[in-house]
Amino acid sequence: MKKYLTSLLFAYCLLSTANCFGQFFKGIGATAGVTMAKEKWFLSYPDNSTSRQRKKNIFGFNGSLRAEFIDNDNFRWVTEVQFNQKGCKDKTDSATYKDKLNYLCWNNFLESQYETFDGFPYILLGPRVEYTLAQAAGSPEIKSAFNKFNFSWSVGAGYEKVVYEYFKPFIELHYNPDTPFYYAYKTSPLDIRNRAWELRIGVIYRPGGHNSCPGVVY
């Protein structure tokens, strides 16, 4: 009898935990898109003067795997692992050099959404931690490696379409500059920060199918 009660209590705790996690966990998805990136260069001279140069845009790719949490009609927490390509074009009088960076990123966003008849427009804001996987710096001004870790932040807007399926399509646009207190590249006399725009298209699986969109009335 004691073993039976113990097993019953264990099963109840397991089901309660699963139910709580189900209410906390709101979806898992993937994105793919295009990144338009450029760099801002800070040059120091022997007379202690400095100059700022905005380099030209370069295009790359991005892709991510994400999970969403918090059971609330208006707010979500989004965490994702992302591959992102950044860099710039360095144009001189004699040539154009392409500087390319591949980052593995861990991004965390607070998402605020609003319900409409056929979908959910939303905004996102949060920090990113980026690890440099590879670099291909063609510019002769870049003489050493970019920092292995970089820190940036992101603000974005998106739209998730209401569909009567488990998988929901969405689209996002992000602005992603480096933080003002850290340089992606820092080797005298040159310091560099990244700036990027990302266009993403994705799909997310939401447990519960057509009933999984928060706040919508079917």
Q: CATH number, domain at 193?
A: 2.40.160.20
Q: Is 127 helix (H, G, I), strand (E, B) or coil?
A: strand
Q: Is residue 115 part of a domain?
A: yes
Rounded CA-CA distance 200/82 in Å is: 11
In terms of pTM, does the model score above 0.85?
A: no
pLDDT tens digits, residue range 65-118? 999 999 888 999 999 999 999 999 999 888 999 999 999 999 999 999 998 888
In a domain, 45, yes or no: yes
**79, exposed or middle or buried, with CB in 10 Å at 0-12, 13-18, 19+?**
middle
| pLDDT one-digit tens code per residue, 39-62 | 999 998 877 778 899 999 999 999
Distance CA 112, CA 29 (A): 18
Give a yes or no: residue 172 inside a domain. yes
Instruction: Examine residue 184 and state whether it is found in any structural domain, yes or no.
Output: yes
Domain that holds residue 93: 25-211
Q: Is residue 2 part of a domain?
A: no
Q: Evaluate whether residue 67 is within a structural domain.
A: yes
Q: Is residue 17 part of a domain?
A: no
